[in-house]
Amino acid sequence: MSFAAQFFGCSNPVLVASQKGAAHRGDLWNVSLAFALPKTVEVIIFDFDGTIADTFDAVVEITNSLAEKFGYKPVGLDEIKRLKNLSSREIVKQSKIPTFKLPFLVRQIRAELEDKVHRLTPFLGIQEALVMLKCQGYQLGIVTSNSEQNVVIFLRNYNLNELFDFIYSEITLFGKAKVISRCLAEKRIGPASAIYVGDETRDIEAAKRIQIKVVAVTWGFNSKKALAKQNPDFLIDQPFELIEACKSLRLT
């Protein structure tokens, strides 16, 4: 039995896991399911940046390097702390970036992330939580504005790729509700059976707009205070809390 199965008391389904490399790199989980739980499987859809992968430092570095090109001011540590308490819309408004430039900025950021993807790491505890959720019979997916190539490289680096049933990538900033809706339609997932997990206020806004349950996580970009204002179904501080949150939402 794998460490994850032993740690979380999970023996059904059987998880086959192999340790490859040092634990600090996260090369812990080469996971496959032997069989699924004999009950209705729901779907947990994750945001990628700031929820699974710690891309914060890389994104700040890239964003500051593009400041002159896109006409906004670079941000320092004090300013970043302040911005964490603002909603995504408030941040864009204060940056004074023309709306028509936003898709080009997002596209440029994700293109430059390709050069930094190999140095990105998962948040502490998220790997174990993902393994346990898969063990419990959930389908796992990712909806992101990052590129599918970046996501796949990252997941493979940490032996997490086998845990996910799909990756849906589309460039957007405030159109995430439509992106999630298209993903649900393409994958034939009913909104009532989906749970969305994200770290930004716009993630909560998007989930609420299309009436799917949402878990907000405080280890990403937005502060706990900013996230709480959006009234997510659950607001959690540690990845292991995903287990109980999803279990509770599954029963509602």
In a domain, 10, yes or no: no
Who contacts 240 (Cβ-Cβ below 8 Å, separation ≥6)?
A: 125, 128, 129
Domain membership flag for residue 130: yes
pLDDT in tens, 15-37: 444 334 334 334 443 333 333 33
8 A C-beta contact, residue 47 and residue 185: no
Sign of CA dihedral 86, 242, 109, 99: negative
Name 117's Cβ contacts closer than 8 Å, sequence gap at least 6: 150, 153, 154, 157
Is residue 90 domain-resident? no
User: Is 109 domain-assigned?
Assistant: no
Query: What is the pTM (predicted TM-score) of this model?
Result: 0.81
The whole-number pLDDT of residue 10 equals: 56
Q: What percent of the chain has pLDDT over 90?
A: 56
* Within a domain: 199: yes
CATH of the domain at 151: 3.40.50.1000
pLDDT value, residue 98: 77
Point out the residues of the chain with pLDDT beneath 50: 1-8, 11-41
Residue 106 inside a domain? The answer is no
Q: Taking a C-beta distance cutoff of 8 angstroms, is the pair 213, 249 a contact?
A: yes
Q: Do the domain assignments include residue 238? A: yes
Boundaries of domain holding 130:
40-54+118-250
Check if 47 is active-site: yes
Cα distance between residue 50 and residue 59, in whole Å: 10
Helices 241-250 and 126-135, packing angle to 10 deg: 30
Question: Which amino acid is it at 213?
Answer: K
Is 151 domain-assigned?
A: yes
- Tokens encoding 31: 């996971």
Give me the pLDDT at residue 87, please. Answer: 81
pLDDT of residue 161: 94
- 27, 47, 49, 233: the active-site residue: 47
Token couple for 70: 């896109």
Specify the number of domains making up the chain: 1
Query: Which among 162, 160, 163 has a CA at the least distance from the CA of 53?
Result: 160
